[in-house]
């Protein structure tokens, strides 16, 4: 079992981030790696605040513990970036 997991962990996946302004950023990540780490790098590059943004995959908001395998992502899937909405 553990060996299987080890093999899986080295497998890479190509995913894309679709920004709030329609920009597309491709990135590579291991299947069992935490997505949030990758997204943190994205913040740095785009220059957005972490609080003002939501990442969503298939309508599911990505939280700290999510990995590509836990969300059953496939090669080439798209993570969407939304700005926080607030209004009165």
Site of interaction with another protein (CB under 8 A)? 2, 6, 9, 18-19, 21-30, 33-34, 36-38, 40-41, 44-47, 54, 56, 58-59, 61, 63-64, 78, 80, 82, 84-88
Supply the minimum distance, in Å, between the C-beta of residue 6 and another protein: 8
Pairwise CA distance, residues 36 & 59, whole Å: 17
Q: 60 pairs with which residues across the strands?
A: 57
Provide CB contacts within 8 A for 11, sequence distance 6+.
Answer: 30, 31
For another protein, which is the closer residue by CB, 72 or 87?
Answer: 87
Pairwise CA distance, residues 69 & 65, whole Å: 11
Supply the minimum distance, in Å, between the C-beta of residue 36 and another protein: 7
């Amino acid at each position: 079992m553990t060996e299987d997991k080890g093999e899986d962990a080295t497998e890479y996946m190509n995913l894309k981030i679709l920004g709030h302004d329609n920009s597309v950023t491709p990135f590579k990540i291991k299947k069992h790696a935490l997505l949030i780490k990758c997204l943190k790098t994205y913040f740095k590059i785009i220059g957005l605040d972490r609080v003002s943004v939501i990442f969503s995959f298939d309508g599911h908001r990505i939280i700290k513990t999510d990995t590509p395998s836990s969300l059953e992502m496939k090669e080439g899937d798209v993570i969407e970036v939304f700005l926080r909405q607030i209004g009165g």
